[in-house]
Structures are given as structure tokens and as C-alpha cells.
Structure 1
Amino acid sequence: MGMMIGGYTIFGVVYLFTAVGATISIDSGEPQVGRPLLIPVAGPFIAASRLSSATAGLGLAMAGVAQLAGLGLGIGGTVRLSKSRKAAQLSAAPGGLQLKF
């Protein structure tokens, strides 16, 4: 469960920062860079390709890598958690419906 929570937290925090940067960029007159940043995971890579500054491009690429890593950890943790717990089973019996965990 820790892997799932940590991964989704990393993804959410990094996406929040890129979304704030996107709105600032759009408001400052650079929508060609800001709009792609609103796309999760792929957006920073798209925006980095549209910049003329290598330093800013590297920063956006690192934000994309952090989003991708966080999402991967979150999904991996979710899969591990779902496999570790038994799924609930609903069955019909003569006495009625039974829900087993």
C-alpha cells in the first residue's frame, strides 16, 4: 500500500507544479509551451521540444520523468495490493446470497 500511496503522491505533486507552471506560461503569452504542460506525463516532453532553452527543456523533461515514475509506482503498488488481497466473491446458496472475502 505504501508503494501505491507514494507513487500517486509523487505523480500528483509533480503534476500540480507543472500545471501551475502551465497556467503561468499561458498567462505570460506562451500558450504553445503552457498548453501541453496540462497533459499528464506526456505534456512536459511535448513542451520541452518547443523550447529554445536547453536548461528549461531539461527541467521539463525531468518533470516528465518524475510524473512517469510516480504513475508507474502508483500503478505497480495498486496491482501488488490487489493481488495480495483476495477478491470478494458473491455466490448464490440455498439460504440466499453470500459475500465472501
Structure 2
Amino acid sequence: MSRRFKSIIKSERPVLVDFYADWCEPCKQIPPILKKVKNNFKESVRIIKVNVDNNPFIASHYQVRSIPTLILFKKGDVQWTGVGIVDASELSSEISKHVNKQA
């Protein structure tokens, strides 16, 4: 796994990772959802995308078996995982549990 990825997910600020592939049709529905979520949380959450074809080791390490898969990390630990298309309100609800929360 890349050092850069590890350092990103170890953040105090929650990090939402979108595991996707360019050929995946359902994955194309995720960016507008992530945009809504980002607008809700601004700088309270970081959102990154990981292409599973380009990063198979990261996908394998987190047992990403189908895409799209969203994984929320805080301090390097998995806080939540969603598989498939997750709507913005459900995603926001999960993220809000981890934003500005003392460890």
C-alpha cells in the first residue's frame, strides 16, 4: 500500500474513500452524491477516489469485492463501509457521526 494513501487515511479529519473503476456504470452515479456531501461538510471531511484497476493492492487490502464501495476512515481505522450506490442523506448521516467527535 502506498505511503501517501496511508498518511491520508490516518488523518484526524474523516476521510471518505470512493473505490471505483472507469468501466463501472454505477460508479458514475457517485460523484454528484459526493459533491452534495462535500458541500454539507466543507473542510470537515476529505473525499478521495481510488481506481481499483490502478490500485489493486489497496482494494484487496480493504476487501473491496464490488464497486462502487465507499469506506470512511478516521485515524487510519475503518469507521463505515457502504457498497453500491449510497444516497447523500445516508452518507451524510454516517459521516456526521465522526466529524468533530473526540476520540
More strand by share: 2
More helix by share: 1
Higher relative contact order (CA 8 A, sep 6+): 2
- The TM-score, its normalising length taken from structure 2, stands at 0.27
Larger Rg: 1
- The TM-score, its normalising length taken from structure 1, stands at 0.27
